[in-house]
Every structure is written in structure tokens, then in C-alpha cells.
Amino acid sequence: VVGGSLGAKTINEAIDKHLDQLLAAGLQLIWQTGKPYAAKAEARVKGKTRVWINDFITQMEYAYAAADLVVARSGAMTVAELCVVKKPVLFVPYPFAAEDHQTVNAKQLVYREAAWMVKDSEATDRIVPMLIELANDEGKQEEMKSNLAKLAVRDADTVIATEIMKQIAK
């Protein structure tokens, strides 16, 4: 569960509120809280097993490798990363992003059956039940992985460099 470098208030509150339900479903949790929520989350998970929390994850590739499912905002970099690593995802777009671009990003994947999405305004009560539903539906997870793979641009660095070189040559 990630909410960007500062965390995501709504996502944090949803996980906090429904943590016991999540753990009762047998799920393990990697939770990036952001600094503003870190102390509260630390207190909330004290004594609980199957929960790892930190205010920031410096090596997301390890977190993605350990995860079966992801809950995240839907900024462009996050979307691109999740396509490459093929992780089924529940997006919670940041509603105040410029021109609501995070919702646009998420809807592109939802339309292609590569992700699920919940509005930030509905997230507190819907994230955990949706996450549990997805965790229990291996067929849906496999479908999402397959569809995410179709959207992945694994050589983005080469594509960008080639385009730059074309522009320089003009």
C-alpha cells in the first residue's frame, strides 16, 4: 500500500480503519505511510504480525517484488512502473491533481481490465473489501497481469533517447 512520498491521507485512514479485517482475511501488508502518518501507523500496528510499515520506501522494486497486489495513487510514474512489474492494482486517484489526470490515468487501465479504481471520496470504506475480493480472485489477478503486460513499455529509455536524437538531428 503506497501513497507517494508524503503518503495519502485517505488510503492511510482506510487501512488504519480496516486493518483488523485485512489481517483476518489472511493478508500480509507492506504499508508506506508517508511521514505525516508514520507515528500513528506505528502505534496502530504495534504487536501485530504480517505488517511491515515505513514512512518511505527507497527501493520500490523490492516492495513490488514482494507484493501480490498494490493499492496506490495513479500518477504517471506509478502507472508505468506497475505495468512493467505486472502487479494487479487498486488505484485511488488523487482528486486534486491537475486536470484530474490521475483519474484519467487510472480509467485507461480500468477500461483495459488491467486495474481496479475507487474514488478517493469512497476509499475509506471500499479499499479493504475490494482488496480482499481481488486477493481471493486469482483469475482476475491473472487477467490483470496479462493486460498490464500489454501496456508495459520496457524500453522507455531507448524510445525517449531515440526521439531526442531525432529532434537534435532536425
Fold of 9-169: Rossmann fold (3.40.50)
What's the average pLDDT block by block, 10 residues per block, for the chain (170 residues)?
A: 81 96 97 93 94 94 96 96 97 96 98 98 97 98 98 93 94
Where would I find the H helices in 25-137? 35-45, 60-66, 76-85, 101-111, 123-135
What pLDDT score was predicted for residue 3? Answer: 78
User: Tell me, what's the pLDDT at 6?
Assistant: 66
Q: What is the pLDDT, as a whole number, of residue 114?
A: 99
Determine the pLDDT at residue 50. 95
pLDDT attached to residue 5: 66
Kindly report the CA angle at 111 between 108 and 114, in degrees rounded to 5? 80
Alpha-carbon torsion, ordered 120, 80, 69, 56, to 10 deg = -70
Amino acid making up residue 77: M
